[in-house]
Amino acid sequence: MRLDKYLADMNLGSRKEVKGLIKKGWVTVNGEVIKSDKFQVKEIEDQVFLDGEEVVYQKDFYYLLNKPAGVISATVDDYEETVLDLFDDESYREDLFPVGRLDKDTEGLLVITNDGALAHRLLSPKRHVEKEYYAEVSGILTEKDQERFAEGLTIDGGEECLPATLSITAVDEASESCSIHLILHEGKFHQVKRMVQAVGKEVTYLKRIRMGGLQLDESLAYGEYRSLTPEEVQLLEKRA
């Protein structure tokens, strides 16, 4: 890879800016000052220093964001705040994107990455990667509803859902509401809300708590994010 691309990929400035740094003699490769931006670097083997600080190459970036309500699952938008607007200048990169979508009013686990291949695998309908949601519902879901979810529900517009696991975790008779956990193996538009609607109730609060083997880190406040550990990246691809 060209030396200027290497430095720009590591977020050390635009291509033009890093070319300037190289010309000034601020960059060494394996101990030698290199003044040509076309110089070819081996990402893994070579030791690159900028102004005396080592620049270790990283190709893929993975973050776990605890999405707050009120921001949209997009990269840029002229009017609305996006999940990438929550990133600080040090972590922000133009190639980051959210893996799938959560509705504007949905909270919780959202993976942000620049790894298109991983995103593709996670979202592929063939792979059925599990997604688990916590929801608060107006109306009381019943055992009969659980059976219907388990059999595979038909939602509005005639779309058929794969069997889903519904657990009713709390019931409040007085306010006629309940809390649920729902495990899905696919990701249709507004799926949780539409499934609950199909049995005559309404989601009033929704949060994603798991994707594959990756759990939401509850120590992250809403709007906070952190890098995934290599173990967590592997867990992501696990179904259960």
Query: d(Cα 100, Cα 122) in Å, to the nearest integer?
Result: 9
CB-nearer residue toward ligand URA: 10 or 69? 69
Q: Give the distance, in angstroms, between the CA of residue 78 and the centroid of all CA atoms in the same chain.
A: 21
CB-nearer residue toward ligand URA: 34 or 209? 209
User: Least Å distance between CB 235 and ligand URA?
Assistant: 20
CB-nearer residue toward ligand URA: 122 or 206? 206
DSSP assignment of 3-50 equals: HHHHHHHTTSS-HHHHHHHHHTT-EEETTEE---TT-B--TTT--EEE
Which of 51, 103, 115, 172 is flagged as catalytic? 103
User: Least Å distance between CB 29 and ligand URA?
Assistant: 46
User: Least Å distance between CB 7 and ligand URA?
Assistant: 38
CB-nearer residue toward ligand URA: 21 or 119? 119
Rg of the chain in Å (alpha carbons): 23
H or E segment and range at residue 171: strand 165-172
Kindly list the residues in this chain that would bind ligand URA in the complex (CB under 6 A): 102-103, 106, 190-193, 206
DSSP assignment of 94-123 equals: TT-EESS---TT-EEEEEEES-HHHHHHHH
Question: 103 an active-site residue?
Answer: yes
Query: d(Cα 23, Cα 19) in Å, to the nearest integer?
Result: 6
H or E segment and range at residue 178: strand 177-184
Q: At 159, is the secondary structure helix, strand, or coil?
A: strand
User: Least Å distance between CB 147 and ligand URA?
Assistant: 21
Q: Which residues are catalytic?
A: 103
